[in-house]
Amino acid sequence: MFKTIGLVGRAGKAEVEETVAEVEAFLCQRDTTLIVETNTASMLSVCEHKVCDREDMGGCDLIVVVGGDGSLLGVARDLAHTNTPVVGVNRGGLGFLAGIPPDQLGLLGDVLAGRYQLEEHFLLQLSLFRDGKLMGESTALNDIVVHSGSLARMIEFNLTVNGDFVYTQRSDGLIVASPTGSTAYSLSAGGPIMHPSLDAIVIVPMFPHTLTSRPLVVRGDSKLEIVITSEPSSSPMVSCDSQVDMAIAEGDIIRVEKAASPLRLVNPEQHSFFESCRSKLDWASRLVGA
């Protein structure tokens, strides 16, 4: 089913380079055509495969990403619009998105044989406007974060959802997360865990200057607008997946909505979101002595 395979790895880590070489050797033993990302090719002592930039890998049947969830976030932003399925071999931390452990490459063989789950994870689309002009745009798989840019500094903004005014808030910032991102930064800020199949967006205030502001969950097709209402005393930013940053100023309008194309994420057949929560978030652990 998957005949043309793209290989992407995160450069700069010895363990990633080791696993990239193992994955390359594993795939060469199968009846596949391998295409290696330009930066990834430098990790192989000898690369006899076609090499191309990541943006040109949309013609692959499957892309294998070796790294952590951060590596998958970047691939999602770059290639989700091509509808190319992506599978991750985890060489990072938690590995919520990268579902294949590096010592279980046999699971990758199962995927190639058609034994897998396919999930669609929607991305968020950010558009930043200043004086009516589009200043920048990006997608995010996990979250879009408006923040003050400085420790112990606040930012003031208005929030509307589908044109309906929600509140004016003074806080360290605001996290807008997809269900995929609900187990990332949003979780550490007190947001709910959402199953990745949900069609919903969570809005999580960051240290709001109030006792009653709580996370808010809205429909996935909602259109959010955040307007910066005061001149910040620091250097505020809006960030996509903590990887793409844009400076913001008083009067800027930040629009967030669901992106047109989802990430098509491949997982092993036995993958379970709840098992991932138990093993990676330490759910249901007994207290010492209990």
User: Which residues, 6+ apart, have CB-to-CB distance to 147 below 8 Å?
Assistant: 155, 172, 173, 206, 236, 237, 238, 239
Residue 72 to residue 54: CA distance in whole angstroms: 12
Residue 253 to residue 132: CA distance in whole angstroms: 9
User: Which residues, 6+ apart, have CB-to-CB distance to 168 below 8 Å?
Assistant: 156, 157, 158, 159, 229
Rounded-to-5 percentages of helix, strand, coil across the chain = 20, 35, 40
Question: Which residue among 53, 56, 69, 143 is the active-site one?
Answer: 69
What ranges in 84-132 are assigned the alpha helix state H? 106-112
Task: Please indicate whether residue 69 is annotated as part of the active site.
Answer: yes
Residue 263 to residue 179: CA distance in whole angstroms: 13
* Catalytic residue positions, numbered: 69
